[in-house]
């Protein structure tokens, strides 16, 4: 490009010749970095939430080992025990998501003046985020639920 301009008019000063893509890329570099950083923090928050749910449910399963042993001794199959543990964990998750959605809907009205080109209640956000949280909670509930299904009734009944 520099050569073409100088071949037409050799007296034209040329400095910082950039493509339009480079100019636009430099102009939004700060926003892109902020977006990536917020995405990273959101991912870390989701991971921490999943680890917290796992910890609470794993502790609950450990405390209820005798109960699961008795249930299996009187005829409950592994599927019933798994549904019980998953149901407990996912019910708590659903309550948390419902309360959070209500709080978020209320707070977006307060923040509406600070939102640019986004509706206060963005349907995509209000659907994708709870779905991601629910999937993460389901994944966090699976390991304690599997551990509950592996309780040996005789060992559980003899342990206390």
What tens digit of pLDDT does each residue of 117-144 get? 778 888 888 999 999 999 999 999 999 9
What is the C-alpha to C-alpha distance for residues 46 and 40, in angstroms, rounded to an integer? 10
pLDDT band at 9 (very low <50, low <70, confident <90, very high): confident
What tens digit of pLDDT does each residue of 83-109 get? 999 999 999 999 999 999 999 988 888
Domain ranges of the chain: 46-158
CA-based end-to-end distance of the chain: 83
Mean pLDDT of the chain: 88
pLDDT band at 160 (very low <50, low <70, confident <90, very high): low
Model-level pTM? Answer: 0.75
pLDDT band at 147 (very low <50, low <70, confident <90, very high): very high
Q: What is the pLDDT of residue 153?
A: 82
Q: Considering Cα of 58, then 59, then 60, then 66, what sign does the dihedral take?
A: positive
Q: What percent of the chain has pLDDT over 70?
A: 98
């Amino acid at each position: 490009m520099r050569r073409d301009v100088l071949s037409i008019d050799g007296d034209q000063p040329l400095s910082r010749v950039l493509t339009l893509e480079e100019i636009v890329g430099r102009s939004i570099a700060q926003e892109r970095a902020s977006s990536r950083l917020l995405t990273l923090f959101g991912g870390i928050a989701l991971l921490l939430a999943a680890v917290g749910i796992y910890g609470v449910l794993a502790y609950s399963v450990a405390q209820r080992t005798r109960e699961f042993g008795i249930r299996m001794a009187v005829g409950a199959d592994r599927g019933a025990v798994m549904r019980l543990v998953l149901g407990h964990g996912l019910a708590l998750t659903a309550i948390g998501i419902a309360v959070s959605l209500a709080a978020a809907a209320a707070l977006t009205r307060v923040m509406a003046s600070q939102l640019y080109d986004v509706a206060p209640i963005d349907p995509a956000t209000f659907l994708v985020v709870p779905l991601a949280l629910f999937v993460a909670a389901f994944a966090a509930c699976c390991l304690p639920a599997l551990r509950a299904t592996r309780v040996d009734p005789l060992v559980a009944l003899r342990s206390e």
